[in-house]
Amino acid sequence: GTGRFLMTGGLTIEATPGYRLTTDRLVGLLGATRISAPGPVTGQAPAGEISAGTMMFRADSTDGAGYVLVFGGGVRLLYSPVE
């Protein structure tokens, strides 16, 4: 079977290229690359400040070569263009 994990309390997620996000709860699968934040997420993204009601990080293909970071639930991005 596939095991699950739960992490709670003041969590910070850092991912390239330039994401630094905070949330209070993460849920994931141990047998697959899939982590979700079922509650609010805030922080820095490459394009600026981001906030969302939920977030999911998962493998994008069956061979695990790529990943997708999906925000949902009222996503807000304060765009900060690089000069």
Q: Report yes or no: 71 and 50 within 8 Å, Cβ to Cβ.
A: yes
Question: Among 47, 51, 54, which Cα is nearest to 72's?
Answer: 54
> Distance (Å, rounded) from C-alpha 43 to C-alpha 52?
9
Does this model's pTM top 0.75?
A: yes
Radius of gyration of the chain (CA): 13
User: Amino acid letter at 10?
Assistant: G
In a structure prediction context, what are the per-residue pLDDT tens digits for the chain, which is 83 residues long? Answer: 569 999 999 999 998 888 999 999 999 998 888 899 999 999 999 899 999 999 999 888 766 678 888 999 999 999 987 76
